[in-house]
């Protein structure tokens, strides 16, 4: 009756041994861990409130998002009308900047205008009046779609930029319709990271207008003079242009979206960024450089001209080098930004706070004390109530903690204060299965069952009750993980892992210990329980 297959016993002991092996690196220093094999260097990470670090709340500038979309819509409308050779006037953005309006020169061309703009207005509201006035506006659904996409892309870009800085386990999550929470464990001075993630990094390539002349900047910083139609004046970095501005064509030749790689490099002893275009971008770049030899090509980042080199020869392989009097650090940051991609809109810092490492250390000490006290109270309770069998349960409880930390290490999980609370709660719940088993054994003994039979029935009959109670708790943990965020998810992870591991230790490890103890007793007439 009290039997266990040898392979099962070996498997249980092997799991316990591996638990010890994978939990040990957490107790070693960084230097000591570096001497271990790569597969044994896994540790869990400490969250913001334990390690210290920075907390930022960022807001995506949705007004800029809508302006960019409306500007693109205006260009699409202009292109579509010109393609069909339809005359129009007063083409401009709507007063709320959420649409476009214009007048047809010939109102009888309403039908032709509808056909020309069919693809442009497919998911927009459009009004074609008999007077020739056309109003194209965004629907509420379209606005929500644009803003949601901008928020999701901002989160993606921020994640790539933060990952490039080497920050371990950053927390980046959405809050509401236009805000992002960013937590950076271990980053005591967030100024540099904040500066890095706050840059839009929107890159454009345009031709310089060599026909513009007599333009100057007045005392108020506004350009004065005859700016050619189809051109505009953009500010330039000081080291690039002493006058502080460059006249460029409004038409964008290539956007930064066509970049597939950007790396810091040196060219003729000057630091800069080597860039590589994708196939479409390489083709456009080759055409532009072939058709504009000995003309200047402006490289624009976030509305400022960072470089406008002269095209000496056609560049046909999709590779180029950006230089502009950068320092090595500036060039490295630019390469990082270009690799991570451009933000769809500027980010505004709404809230910023720093958690000091001393506060984190206090939190760790408090969490350790709470866990140790919980462990001591539970072990004493089990021994007082179940004697030797209680000690068996305590051995399983110790391995429950070891296996839990091993699992957290292998997963590379982040331990937070709620996570520590989950561990403390797991300690109490870990012996719950043993309590159910032992009480069932006691009940069988009261009904005059033989000790060996009582143990066998106790483990078999308590199984379903144990599974039911733990599965319901697992469902609660799954709900917390699915709908919670940040620290709440950490609590759910530690709770769920603790429950699953406690099932293993209660139903397998303690049973193995009890079976081997019972076999060593020659005349088992009573149980120390």
pLDDT tens sequence across 11-26: 999 999 999 999 988 8
Distance CA 402, CA 501 (A): 10
Each residue of 465-508: pLDDT tens digit? Answer: 888 888 988 998 899 888 876 678 778 888 889 889 988 998 88
CATH topology of domain 6-51+356-520: Multidrug efflux transporter AcrB transmembrane fold (1.20.1640)
Q: Tell me what the mean pLDDT of segment 115-137 comes to.
A: 86
pTM, 2 dp = 0.60
Radius of gyration of the chain measured on its C-alpha atoms? 34
Please give the residue that has the higher pLDDT: either 200 or 328: 328
The whole-chain average pLDDT of the chain stands at 83
Residues 514 and 529 sit within 8 Å (Cβ to Cβ): no
Each residue of 266-286: pLDDT tens digit? Answer: 887 788 888 888 888 888 888
The two three-digit tokens of residue 50, written as one number = 């334990």
CATH 3.30.70 for domain 62-140, yes or no, is no
Task: Give the pLDDT band (50/70/90) at residue 39.
Answer: confident
pLDDT tops 60 at residue 46? yes
Amino acid 220: pLDDT: 64
Instruction: Give the CA angle between residues 425, 24, 171 to the nearest 5°.
Output: 60
The two three-digit tokens of residue 299, written as one number = 């490289």
Distance CA 284, CA 413 (A): 45
How many Cα neighbours within 13 Å face the side chain of 126?
A: 20
Question: Beta 254-255 vs 259-267: how paired, if at all?
Answer: unpaired
Q: Tell me what the mean pLDDT of segment 47-58 comes to.
A: 78
pLDDT tops 80 at residue 325? no
Q: Say how many Å lie between the first and final Cα of the chain, rounded.
A: 19
Each residue of 165-197: pLDDT tens digit? Answer: 666 667 788 888 899 988 887 776 667 677 767
In which residue ranges of the chain is CATH 3.30.1360.200 found? 201-342
Please give the residue that has the higher pLDDT: either 355 or 452: 452
Task: Give the pLDDT band (50/70/90) at residue 360.
Answer: low
Residues 409 and 33 sit within 8 Å (Cβ to Cβ): no
* Cα–Cα nearest to 256, from 307, 315, 210, 299: 299
Q: Tell me what the mean pLDDT of segment 62-69 comes to.
A: 86
Q: Where are the beta strands (DSSP E) in 163-214?
A: 171-175, 179-185, 203-207
CATH classification (class only), 201-342:
alpha beta
Q: Tell me the DSSP string of 362-381.
A: HHHHHHHHHHHHHHHHHHHH
Can you state the angle between helices 62-83 and 140-165, rounded to 10 degrees?
120
The percentage of the chain sitting over the pLDDT mark of 90, rounded to a whole number, equals 11
| Max mean pLDDT range (141-155, 196-210, 482-496) | 141-155
Distance CA 47, CA 356 (A): 12
The two three-digit tokens of residue 79, written as one number = 């292109």
């Amino acid at each position: 009756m009290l039997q266990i297959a040898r392979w099962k016993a070996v498997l249980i002991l092997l799991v316990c041994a591996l638990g010890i092996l994978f939990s040990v690196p957490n107790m070693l220093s960084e230097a000591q861990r570096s001497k271990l094999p790569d597969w044994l260097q896994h540790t869990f990470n400490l969250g913001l409130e334990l390690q210290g670090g920075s907390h930022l709340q960022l807001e995506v500038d949705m007004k800029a998002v809508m302006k960019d979309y409306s500007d693109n819509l205006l260009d699409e409308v202009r292109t579509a009308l010109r393609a069909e050779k339809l005359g129009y006037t007063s083409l401009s953005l709507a007063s709320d900047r959420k649409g476009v309006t214009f007048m047809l020169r010939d109102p009888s061309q309403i039908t032709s205008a509808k056909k020309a703009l069919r693809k442009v207005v497919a998911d927009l509201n459009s009004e074609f009046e008999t007077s020739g006035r056309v109003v194209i506006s965004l629907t509420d659904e379209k606005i929500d779609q644009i803003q949601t996409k901008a928020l999701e892309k901002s989160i993606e870009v921020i994640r790539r930029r933060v990952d490039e800085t080497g920050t371990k386990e950053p927390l980046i999550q959405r809050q509401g319709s236009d805000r992002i929470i960013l937590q950076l464990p271990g980053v005591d001075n967030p100024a540099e990271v904040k500066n890095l993630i706050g840059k839009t990094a929107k890159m454009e390539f345009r031709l310089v207008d060599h026909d513009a002349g007599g333009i100057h900047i007045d005392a108020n910083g506004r350009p004065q003079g005859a700016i050619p139609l189809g051109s505009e004046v953009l500010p330039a970095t000081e080291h690039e242009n002493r006058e502080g501005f460059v006249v460029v064509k409004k038409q964008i030749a290539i956007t930064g979206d066509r970049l597939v790689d950007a790396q810091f490099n040196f060219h003729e002893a000057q630091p800069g960024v080597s860039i590589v275009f994708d196939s479409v971008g390489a083709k456009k770049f080759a055409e532009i450089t072939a058709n504009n030899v000995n003309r200047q090509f402006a490289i624009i980042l976030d509305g400022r001209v960072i470089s406008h080199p002269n095209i000496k020869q056609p560049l046909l392989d999709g590779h180029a080098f950006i230089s502009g009097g950068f320092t090595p650090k500036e060039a490295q940051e630019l390469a990082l930004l270009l690799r991570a991609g451009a933000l769809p809109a500027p980010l505004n810092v709404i809230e910023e706070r720093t958690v000091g490492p001393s506060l984190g250390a206090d939190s760790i000490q408090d969490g350790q004390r709470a866990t140790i006290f919980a462990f001591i109270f539970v072990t004493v309770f089990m021994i007082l109530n179940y004697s030797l069998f209680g000690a068996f349960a305590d051995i399983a409880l110790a391995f429950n903690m070891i296996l839990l930390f091993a699992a957290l290490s292998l997963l590379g999980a982040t331990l937070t204060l709620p996570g520590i609370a989950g561990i403390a709660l797991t300690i109490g719940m870990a012996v719950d299965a043993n309590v159910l088993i032992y009480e069932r054994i006691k009940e069988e003994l009261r009904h005059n069952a033989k000790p060996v039979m009582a143990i066998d029935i106790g483990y078999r009959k308590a199984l379903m009750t144990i599974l039911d109670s733990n599965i319901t708790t697992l469902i609660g943990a799954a709900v917390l993980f699915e709908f919670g965020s940040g620290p709440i998810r950490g609590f759910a992870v530690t709770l769920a892992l603790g429950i699953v591991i406690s099932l293993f230790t209660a139903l397998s490890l303690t049973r193995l210990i009890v079976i081997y103890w019972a076999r060593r007793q020659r005349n088992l007439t009573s149980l120390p329980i």
